Structure 1
Amino acid sequence: MTRTGASPSPWWTKSLHADRRPFLIGRNRVQAALRSFFATAAFIEVDTAALQISPGNEAHLHAFATQALSIDGRAASLYLHTSPEFAAKKLLAAGEERIFTFAHVYRNRERGPLHHPEFTMLEWYRVGETYETLMADCADMLKLAAETTGTRSFTYRGMDCDPFAEPERVTLAEAFERFAGIDLLSSIAENGENDRERLAAELQRVGLRVSDDDSWADLFSKVLVDRIEPHLGRGQATILCEYPVSEAALARPSRQDPRVAERFELYACGVELANAFGELTDAGEQRRRFEIEMAEKARIYGETYPIDEDFLAALAVMPEASGAALGFDRLAMLATGATRVDQVMWAPVAETGW
């Protein structure tokens, strides 16, 4: 947290800490309430290692890299995880059925009012339960966070959201049609392959700029960010669901429509709070998707991350499950009335001019 001016005061000065302290106490209360919520539902809290062979294999996630040195100086590459997901799924393969974790995670190239290079991810998994159950969990958590801090409404950047109202459920196809006038599914084949030219024509028809080097995924993201996300979570929370299969690398395809996957995101006041999947358990298909993601990362950023073979081996024996990841700092921010995530972090990462 900084102030404008040539010499911003550090977060640990008494005056700034006094300003932030009500938010921090509110954060602690929300975290304690959520721990009680999971305990009541017979979940086990787990603690996963931050150092991993692979930080994750999504094209647009950026990790912090380091080296592990042996006593004789031999080096092996490791990464700080961008999510505890790989480790949590290994625990499901080991026999755990209901787990949750408050994990510190690390993402490079991210800093702003809603982003921080180190933040707290709340992840939870339910074996043998559908991702609709996670939608109910998310609704309950919004209510619990608001009750705990004594707020009746979340407010952020001029938008209000009633955390006690039932979230509206909207599919990506419905959102593209409602907010952008675009037929999304017309550009996706039954086998999940995307038609870049078809989607580009849809964007041009509604007046959105298309560049020659835009991929289908680039066009999808452009519509989502520019035309859809600003409308989500107004008045009530929004559950945006049924993402195209190509935009849900770790989720299983929908049983109703193979063009889309069992993935949803939770929004309040235009802020993305959670990302959830009906988990993919086909190790061969997961490998194929990771390879596609890493090829895209190489194309855009000129780098790739290794695939965790141990994770794929665990995935092959993991039972059917659903899992969700919630940005806990963002939820604490909305529940306490803070305006930046670093206001609800006890000790934010120092800014170094980046």
Structure 2
Amino acid sequence: MPDQYPPSARWWTPSNHTDRRPFLIGRNAIQSAMRAFFAKNDFIEVDTATLQISPGNEAHLHAFTTEAIGNDGARHPLYLHTSPEFACKKLLAAGEPRISCFAHVYRNRERGPLHHPEFTMLEWYRSGETYETLMRDCADLLALSAETTKTKQFTYRDMTVDPFAAPERLSVADAFQRYADIDLLASVSADGSTDERHLRAELDKARIKTATDDTWADMFSRVLVERIEPELGRGRATILDRYPVCEAALARPAADDPRVAERFELYACGVELANAFGELTNATEQRRRFEIEMAEKQRVYGETYPLDEDFLAALDDMPEASGIALGFDRLVMLATGALRIDQVMWAPVAEVAN
């Protein structure tokens, strides 16, 4: 279906709704199929609160802020969550072994063909199971989405993916070598610290521009966005695995190499669909990482978010587990052939005038 109207159009007019309705019916069918998949695999679906003490503690995620007014009139800051992750992990600590959650989540400063300020995140967690199990889940859900919408391939822009093909598993280090000729891990030490000068020299050799004030993380992101992500998920899905530990604040280090973490992202047609972890359960280390993230947020944006002390306390009771967050709307886009994320939302958020 052609992209017949701009994102700012009135989605509720009969003609626009007629164009969008096939995508929306497909959305409902995929969601029903996924709920059946998780129920069949002994998951309990949970429903977490949207309002939280902390919206998450990643430097470049931006939350919506509100406040609670107590019975005494006192005002207390609250946030719309950017993910149900903290609440879900508390439920793992409480003893739930397998949980799934369709959650509306909120992220500020994000709007475009693949971004929306309010969207649906599908998260699921497996206690006592490795993150490789989540890779198999991803393959199953890609195929299930295609079966549900009766499509043989996903298409987005100039890329196609066979949703029934086994995903390619590619380490971040191998992706940097393949697509940018950069030896990434040569700039990462065993303790997780990074060598900005070394990585800058690698980018210079690869003729990738840098700014004088770029951090190691800035340069890592630039290579990922410019050279690697556009190549991921061509023909079949890609599982981009083993991120540097400094780029995986909530994941545990890999057992065979402390420079990298048990983190992967799922890509199809160049679109990032999911982010998964072998979960970090060390509260002291998690606090240290959050504090680093918030220091960076203060440096770049001049603000920070509080830590969720209950979440950190819950890590002491949380079992070894793996967990994943999947952008449900994006997967629906690929499975239904929609061109923009707002086309697969029953009632998109109104655009803010410039």
CA distance in 2, matches of 1:303, 1:104: 24
Shift of 1:3: 3.4
CA contact (8 A) 1:277 1:324 kept: yes
Letter in 2 for 1:333: M
Shift of 1:73: 1.4
Shift of 1:9: 3.7
1:154 maps to 154
Q: How many residues align?
A: 352
Tell me if 1:3 matches 2:29.
no
Shift of 1:72: 2.6
1:37 maps to 37
Quote the sequence identity (%).
Answer: 72
Correspondence 1:241-320 to 2 at 5 A = 241-320=241-320
Tell me if 1:336 matches 2:329.
no
Letter in 2 for 1:291: E
CA distance in 1, matches of 2:278, 2:4: 40
1:325 maps to 325
Letter in 2 for 1:61: L
Task: Go from structure 1 to structure 2 and tell me whether the alpha carbon gap of 1:124 and 1:226 turns closer, same or farther (over 3 Å shift).
Answer: same
Find the residue that maps to 1:236 and give its secondary structure.
coil
Shift of 1:317: 1.2
Task: Go from structure 1 to structure 2 and tell me whether the alpha carbon gap of 1:71 and 1:316 turns closer, same or farther (over 3 Å shift).
Answer: same
CA contact (8 A) 1:2 1:11 kept: no
CA contact (8 A) 1:2 1:9 kept: no
Task: Go from structure 1 to structure 2 and tell me whether the alpha carbon gap of 1:206 and 1:48 turns closer, same or farther (over 3 Å shift).
Answer: same
Structure 1: which 5+ residue stretches go unaligned?
Answer: none
Find the residue that maps to 2:115 and give its secondary structure.
coil
CA distance in 1, matches of 2:242, 2:25: 36
Give the TM-score normalised by the residue count of structure 2: 0.98
Letter in 2 for 1:162: D
CA contact (8 A) 1:274 1:325 kept: yes
Correspondence 1:227-242 to 2 at 5 A = 227-242=227-242
CA distance in 1, matches of 2:160, 2:140: 18
1:167 maps to 167
Correspondence 1:98-177 to 2 at 5 A = 98-177=98-177
Q: Deviations over 1:132-179 (max 9, x none)?
A: 000000000000000000000000011000000000000000000000
1:92 maps to 92
2:74 maps to 74
Find the residue that maps to 2:258 and give its secondary structure.
coil
Shift of 1:2: 9.1
1:353 maps to 353
Find the residue that maps to 1:55 and give its secondary structure.
coil
CA distance in 2, matches of 1:59, 1:264: 19
Q: Deviations over 1:250-289 (max 9, x none)?
A: 0000001000000000000000000000000000000000
Give the TM-score normalised by the residue count of structure 1: 0.98
Find the residue that maps to 1:235 and give its secondary structure.
coil
1:27 maps to 27
CA contact (8 A) 1:2 1:10 kept: no
2:219 maps to 219
Task: Go from structure 1 to structure 2 and tell me whether the alpha carbon gap of 1:285 and 1:330 turns closer, same or farther (over 3 Å shift).
Answer: same
Shift of 1:71: 2.2
- Please provide the CA RMSD for this pair: 1.1
Q: Deviations over 1:288-323 (max 9, x none)?
A: 000000000001000000000000000111000000
2:64 maps to 64
Q: Deviations over 1:83-142 (max 9, x none)?
A: 000000000000000000000000000000000000000000000000000000000000
Letter in 2 for 1:70: G
